[in-house]
């Protein structure tokens, strides 16, 4: 297999010998790279004389950095950084070779590395900065993994971690995260990279198979309190008849042994030193449940999927990316620090029958095996190689709103488009420091936008006023809808029309709308000249892919704002006995409608992309009878997942849906009810709509939409 044939890849990591998860990942990655036909050169960061990663007070010799940069740039088409971010070297390589930063842990978002708050057994949710000193005073979090408090030098650099990480993100051509949770953590704390991908670590083919012993538990990892070794022993004490193997070494070892004696389970707990990959694989195959009670932010947790592939169930604390793989049938999670809930999860894992465990291997490898990893990894490196071959490069800075809980569509859209932009387009992101509430916050956002740099500045939506602070000759404004003008009247509407729509649109070099309906509304409601507005549609994200039809006919409804029309839709389905899944926080009116309808329902909030895809896969139909949309993203997301759709016979929803949906009058409860019941009772029609929806969703593929933006960016660049 020569997908990467002829490509020269450089790998830089703090150490090459396998001592932990990152080193094991790198070793497996290099093997995959060579199998794909690439030539691989690896460097130990210490051998390049780079000094400590992200250390503002300890700078390496400039001549040594220049020598290292010359060596790396001369021998590589693309350079990858794993477990390190040597800022001086990255600066020296900027513009010479594309750099991919692989974020394996939360280290770049936390001076202490793990985002743990040992004093309360919780995970920190604060961005790094001066606030770290205050949090440390209360929670004693600025310490090494073994609990040793930071020295003065380490404390002095702690407030600078966020600033330095943002510089790294600007220098990197792209960032690869091993979980959506880690990507979200970066967005919420240190910023959004220009290009970002989520690629879970590869799970190798299990080399061992064994019949697990009854009641056998396993804990593996460094023996430090934040990894949860004490909680693992407490779980063993709660489950009579179980035996626990603790595999690892570390400073908490003596305390763990003392706790085992104190709880009366010393004869049921076996302590072994650190196990190599082969030995650990054998132990996993011999165990019935792996315990992962980490109180750190676990970016992924490689041991979990590897254990599941060997038929070993997993019980873990719900921290970071763990929830993305620790789910039925092989895993269950518990709230962080809740030992009783973790013990209950472990009990369920111990009770799984052996014939069911044997099925997990193929299921895990299909999702996260080496072949699946290679299929996701290769396109990223090939796109980076395009940058290496590009002549003129257009630097685009996208101005995005501050993330809001429950509202992710615009952020997800442009993150997908940035991944698909061709190599001669180099995107960067500037996130507003504040949300859009109040005059002062908007002024701070305007000040931040005024400092943005790039060949093209792109105001991506929902913050149109930012265009008032940018260079009009190279600014592009994207408008998603005109809902604000429909929701308000009087003086407020007049001000919104002038300051939020008309003035920004008149000032910029180009305007795009996500649909013809939005373009027309811009003209009718805001007075923007339609001839100046190009229509570039939204795209569907790559994680929305077809799944098998769901067993149960659940009705999925997405969005709970008034124009989503959910109260009327719920009323239309009253008495049908259908189960509803509402994505979004129901308000009082909607809860009242749900109570009156007497239908079983459940609620989900703040779902990320992969979780939203699972919601589509688990439903029987998407009911999206909105009264107003600028586009209607759930329509194409559902279609891309193979889910039949019922939506409104209104623009732009009818255009977005194509022939892959049943169209209804959103104000006609009888029509809504009839369409949903027709799909419930007609499997042939469901299959027909599934196939038509998949064809329609292909119209909105990200590469095609990104190509349209690339043409516009090149036109606007000086």
For residue 384, tell me if it sits in a domain: no
Residues 302 and 429 in one domain: no
Residue 115 backbone zone (phi > 0: left; psi -120 to 50: alpha; other: beta): left
Query: Are 101 and 181 within one domain?
Result: yes
**Burial level of 518, CB count in 10 A (0-12/13-18/19+)?**
buried
504 and 612 inside one domain: no
Name the band, by pLDDT with cuts 50, 70 and 90, for residue 660.
very high
Residue 231 lies in domain: 216-360
What does the pLDDT average to over 224-245?
95
**Strand 662-664 relative to strand 601-604: parallel, antiparallel, unpaired?**
unpaired
371 vs 51, more confident: 371
What pLDDT does 53 receive? 57
CATH number where 450 lies: 3.40.50.2000
Is the overall model pTM greater than 0.85, yes or no? Answer: yes
Quick one: 191 and 224 in the same domain?
Answer: no
Same domain membership, residue 258 and residue 163 = no
Cis amide linkage into residue 329, ω under 30° from 0: yes
Instruction: Indicate the burial class of 139 (C-beta count within 10 angstroms; 0-12, 13-18, 19 or more).
Output: middle
Report DSSP letters for 97-146, one per residue: S-EEEEE-SSGGG-TTSS-EETTTTEE--SPSSTHHHHHHHHH---B-TT
Enter the tokens of residue 183: 């990507």
Mean pLDDT computed over 414-440: 91
pLDDT, residue 47, reads: 66
Residue 414: its pLDDT value, please? 93
Q: Does residue 94 lie in a domain region?
A: yes
Q: What is the pLDDT of residue 696?
A: 96
Q: What is the pLDDT of residue 551?
A: 83
Task: Write out pLDDT tens, residues 539-587.
Answer: 998 889 998 888 889 999 999 989 999 999 999 999 999 999 999 999 8
Same domain, 22 and 171: yes
Q: Would you say residue 301 lies in a domain?
A: yes
Q: Domain check: are 186 and 125 in the same one?
A: yes
Tell me what pLDDT residue 19 has: 61
Candidate from 26-30, 83-87, 510-514 with smallest mean pLDDT: 83-87
> In the chain, how many domains are there?
4
The predicted pLDDT at position 669 comes to: 96
In this predicted model, what pLDDT tens digit does every residue of 465-515 receive, in sequence order? Answer: 999 999 999 999 999 999 888 888 888 888 889 989 999 999 999 999 999
Which tokens in the block code for residue 496?
């919104």
């Amino acid at each position: 297999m020569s997908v990467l044939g002829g490509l020269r890849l450089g790998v830089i990591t703090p150490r090459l010998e396998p001592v932990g998860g990152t080193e094991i990942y790198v070793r497996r990655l290099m093997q995959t790279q060579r199998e794909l036909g690439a030539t691989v050169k690896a460097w130990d960061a210490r051998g390049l004389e780079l000094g400590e990663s992200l250390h503002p007070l300890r700078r390496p010799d400039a001549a040594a950095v220049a020598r290292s940069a010359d060596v790396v740039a001369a021998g590589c088409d693309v350079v990858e950084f794993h477990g390190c971010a040597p800022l001086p070297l990255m600066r020296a390589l900027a513009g010479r070779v594309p750099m991919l930063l692989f974020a394996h842990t939360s280290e770049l978002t936390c001076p202490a590395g793990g985002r743990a708050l040992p004093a309360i057994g919780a995970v920190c949710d604060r961005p790094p900065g001066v606030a770290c000193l205050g949090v440390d005073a209360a929670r004693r979090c600025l310490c090494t993994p073994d609990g040793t408090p930071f020295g003065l030098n380490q404390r002095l650099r702690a407030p600078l971690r966020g600033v330095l990480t943002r510089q790294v993100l600007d220098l990197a051509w792209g960032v690869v995260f091993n979980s959506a949770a880690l990507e979200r953590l970066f967005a919420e704390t240190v910023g959004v990279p220009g290009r970002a991908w989520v690629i879970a670590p590869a799970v190798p083919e299990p080399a061992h198979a064994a019949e697990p012993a009854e009641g056998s538990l396993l804990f593996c990892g460094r023996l430090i309190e934040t990894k949860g070794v004490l909680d693992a022993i407490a779980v063993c004490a709660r489950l009579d008849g179980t035996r626990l193997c603790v595999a690892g070494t570390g400073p908490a070892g003596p305390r763990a042994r003392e706790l085992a004696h104190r709880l009366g389970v010393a004869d049921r707990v076996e302590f072994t030193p650190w196990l190599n990959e082969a030995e650990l694989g054998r132990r996993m195959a011999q165990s019935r449940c792996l315990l992962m009670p980490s109180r750190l932010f676990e970016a992924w947790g490689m041991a979990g999927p590897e254990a599941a592939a060997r038929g070993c169930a997993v019980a873990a604390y719900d921290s970071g990316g763990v929830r993305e793989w620790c789910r039925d049938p092989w895993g269950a999670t518990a709230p962080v620090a809740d030992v009783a809930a973790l013990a209950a999860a472990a009990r369920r894992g111990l009770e799984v029958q052996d014939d069911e465990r044997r099925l997990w291997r193929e299921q895990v490898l299909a999702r996260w095996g080496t072949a699946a990893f290679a299929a996701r990894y290769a396109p990223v490196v090939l796109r980076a190689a395009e940058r290496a071959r590009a002549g003129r490069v257009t630097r685009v800075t996208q101005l995005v709103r501050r993330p809001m809980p429950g509202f992710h569509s615009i952020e997800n859209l442009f993150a997908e488009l940035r991944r698909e932009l061709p190599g001669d387009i180099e995107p960067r992101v500037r996130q507003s420091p504040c949300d859009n509430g109040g005059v002062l916050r908007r002024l701070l956002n305007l000040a931040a936008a005024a400092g943005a740099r790039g060949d093209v500045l792109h105001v991506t939506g929902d913050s149109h006023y930012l265009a008032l602070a940018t260079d009009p000759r190279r600014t592009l404004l994207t408008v998603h809808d005109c809902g604000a003008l429909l929701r308000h009247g009087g003086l407020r509407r007049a001000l919104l029309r002038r300051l939020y729509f008309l003035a920004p649109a008149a000032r910029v070099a180009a305007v795009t709308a996500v649909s013809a309906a939005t373009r027309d509304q811009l003209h009718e409601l805001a007075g923007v000249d339609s001839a100046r507005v190009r229509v570039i549609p939204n795209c569907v994200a790559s994680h929305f892919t077809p799944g098998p039809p769901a067993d149960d006919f659940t009705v999925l409804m997405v969005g709970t704002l008034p124009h989503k029309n959910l109260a009327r839709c719920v009323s239309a389905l009253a008495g049908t006995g259908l189960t509803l899944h509402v994505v979004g926080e129901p308000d009082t009116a909607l809860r009242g409608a749900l109570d009156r309808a007497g239908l079983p329902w459940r609620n989900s909030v703040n779902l990320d992309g992969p979780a939203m895809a699972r919601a589509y896969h688990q439903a029987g139909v998407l009911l999206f009878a909105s009264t107003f949309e600028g586009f209607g993203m759930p329509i194409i997301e559902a279609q891309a997942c193979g889910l039949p759709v019922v939506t409104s016979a209104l623009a732009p929803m009818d255009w977005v849906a194509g022939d892959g949906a049943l169209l209804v009058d959103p104000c006609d409860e009888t029509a809504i009810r009839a369409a949903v019941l027709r799909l419930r009772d007609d499997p042939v029609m469901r299959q027909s709509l599934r196939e038509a929806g998949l064809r329609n969703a292909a119209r909105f593929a990200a590469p095609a939409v990104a190509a349209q933006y690339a043409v516009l960016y090149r036109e606007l660049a000086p």
